[in-house]
Structure 1
């Protein structure tokens, strides 16, 4: 597979606006009570950090009120190198979110692959990007109510240069609700019993060694690590207000530039910080 870059090296971030229908669920669900204006402010802080502090080129897709969960852009594509796999979310209505994302990825000259029609080789497959953890060495795919084994098989067929292992999501609705990458060799993970069970399975399946950074709050376990264009290590993480007991863990990353980034409104809907963006590397020699 062409253009495999050092882990965390990105040049572009793609985000999608928070719609007026924020807080509602696809396919007629009532959703939860949320603060639309606050969610939009928090998205503004995230995009500002990615563009102004980290130095990424930001691409913003307009909000779509008819697609109330479209702001969870991470769910609709898995990107590695110059290849993007457009996924198939569990909810039928959410699959329409992919159209605008697909157009942007094509404009960036990525190789865009589809999971296929229901009647094709991907029949019955469901896959959401927030169930996919790429470590730079391999993929872990969380088997949850959103992602099934057939979806993991399609991902493995797409990214053949990497091992793909399936793990149970024992402590959250999606894999990235309980863990994420905090650096090239560091997994940050919740200290909940469910997350510990998932971690034990990951450790049994991998041939690689990872440092483990355990945090007491689930929301703190999802971060965004970027090695910026200026070769600075950034970690975007939930704020001290959202996860006060996890601050000491973040502070142990002394070589990083820490960027607290609120995501409380998204968290109410079960979304993690990384759900709000897709990260892409477009430089041939980063």
Structure 2
């Protein structure tokens, strides 16, 4: 069960954030701010304490805190983000991380290794690490080495179609796994009870398990029904403005 979350308010500069979908338009900052507040309320309703960090105007994508750190029950790893414009975001997250972890339990990914937290999916004490344009094998190996000090394991999974591993995967505990796109038939994930998401609702693959409640993006009824049919309680949150920056529900928080 998770006890804590860390989030960061979106910056006004988010309208200049990185995107692979410019056709969706620039984010509406005021709407994004309201959506972020609803997101925090949804997290809190699941019984966790949420630390809300102030916006970092110099970093348009800094609300996506998941990419700059990995938090587990025993340790944290400060990443080395693969996008140059986001790399210094780690300076803003580290002080917050150290409020929860002893210094000896905070580790780093160092160059030439790169790692985005969006490429890391935790399944118990095992971690799947996507090899993407943002995360390389050296970064994955460093993370596996750090996790190994705490009895945890990891494995690398090459990506070919999606930005991050968790763009098309979400672990819902009890062996349930949301899968979309290239992962539907991926041999690595054969052992899971798969909830397959259709291409027209592909964005909804990025859900988060939060203490037996699943937070799902608003507006994807087939995905919502598929999860409810497995017996899960659901909360929906509108993330339309974050989708414009390739961001989803998991990207907006660190959960541990």
TM-score normalised by length of structure 2: 0.90
Cross-structure match for 1:38:
31
Q: Does the CA-based 8 Å contact 1:75-1:128 persist in structure 2?
A: yes
Cross-structure match for 1:263:
239
Q: Does the CA-based 8 Å contact 1:176-1:272 persist in structure 2?
A: no
SS in structure 1 of the partner of residue 184 of structure 2: helix
SS in structure 2 of the partner of residue 55 of structure 1: coil
Deviation at 1:33, TM superposition (A): 1.4
Cross-structure match for 2:82:
90
Cross-structure match for 1:71:
63
Number of equivalenced pairs: 246
Cross-structure match for 1:246:
223
Deviations 1:6-38 (A, max 9, x none): xxx111110000100013136xxx995111111
Work out which of the residue numbers 190, 197, 210 in structure 2 matches 1:215. Answer: 197
Q: Which runs of 4+ in 1 moved over 6 A?
A: none
Structural RMSD (CA):
1.8
In structure 1, C-alpha distance between the alignment counterparts of 2:69 and 2:248, rounded to whole Å: 16
Runs of 5+ in structure 2 lacking a partner?
A: none
In structure 1, C-alpha distance between the alignment counterparts of 2:169 and 2:16, rounded to whole Å: 25
Q: Does the CA-based 8 Å contact 1:90-1:127 persist in structure 2?
A: yes
Deviation at 1:102, TM superposition (A): 0.8
SS in structure 2 of the partner of residue 258 of structure 1: strand
- For the pair 1:135 / 2:131, whether they are aligned, the reply is no
Cross-structure match for 2:210:
226
- For the pair 1:235 / 2:214, whether they are aligned, the reply is yes
Cross-structure match for 2:108:
114
Q: Does the CA-based 8 Å contact 1:170-1:195 persist in structure 2?
A: no
- For the pair 1:188 / 2:178, whether they are aligned, the reply is yes
Deviation at 1:107, TM superposition (A): 1.4
Work out which of the residue numbers 242, 261, 279 in structure 1 matches 2:255. Answer: 279
Deviation at 1:274, TM superposition (A): 0.3
TM-score normalised by length of structure 1: 0.81
In structure 2, C-alpha distance between the alignment counterparts of 1:136 and 1:96, rounded to whole Å: 30
In structure 1, C-alpha distance between the alignment counterparts of 2:233 and 2:189, rounded to whole Å: 28
Q: Does the CA-based 8 Å contact 1:135-1:184 persist in structure 2?
A: no
Runs of 5+ in structure 1 lacking a partner?
A: 1-8, 117-122, 204-208, 228-232, 281-286
SS in structure 1 of the partner of residue 128 of structure 2: strand
SS in structure 1 of the partner of residue 138 of structure 2: helix
SS in structure 2 of the partner of residue 139 of structure 1: strand
